[in-house]
Amino acid sequence: MELTRRGFLKLSGAVGASSALGLNFKPVNAYAAELSKSNRIKSSKQYTTICAYCSCGCGLICSVDNLTGKIFNIEGDPENPINEGALCAKGAGFFDLTEANKHRLTKVRYRAPYSDKWEEKDWDWAFSRIARLVKDTRDKDFVTTNAQGRLVNRTESIAHLGSSNIDNEECWLISQSVRAMGLVYIDHQARV
């Protein structure tokens, strides 16, 4: 891309040194200094993503404040040929799906048998407990051969309702792992 460096006339020296052209940079420097001092200069990053409502696949651009790490604006991705930057009512309200919506789940919740309230747990406890339940249930009801004596290796007492609201990679991981566990009752809302 060297082609573009050849600006016709390169003036050396940084902005602000106003001596040569006689430009008065004093108020500009003052304003710049004041802006940075009262840290009114924010910085953000922009990421492209895809809407999670209907299957049109409209492109979105999320602006994330570097300081707080939170999304502060979501708009249509102007280059996405499907929506060309426009969004529908739900898409425009996509911001309400981020953590700005106080109803978002943030803690692992657990309900003990016959209990009438949620308890908060941590991930490790949850995964070890779930693994235990899966193993016990699978081992107890595992069907190695069917009535005609054929090898079937089925786990009929565990079912998986996956989701068409998660990414392809996640769907594939679910599909592979439930097949490995021998599940046959596998479905999700694509059918519903």
CA–CA dist 170, 104 (Å, integer) = 20
Q: Which two tokens stand for residue 123?
A: 């991930």
CB of 73 to another protein, least distance (A): 9
Residue 63 and residue 71 in contact, taking contact as beta carbons nearer than 8 Å: yes
CA 115 to chain centre: 33
Say if residue 186 is exposed, middle or buried (CB neighbours under 10 Å; 0-12, 13-18, 19+). Answer: middle
User: C-alpha dihedral over 47, 48, 50, 51, to 10 degrees?
Assistant: 60
CA–CA dist 122, 127 (Å, integer) = 9
Residue 121 and residue 100 in contact, taking contact as beta carbons nearer than 8 Å: no
Residue 18: DSSP 8-state: -
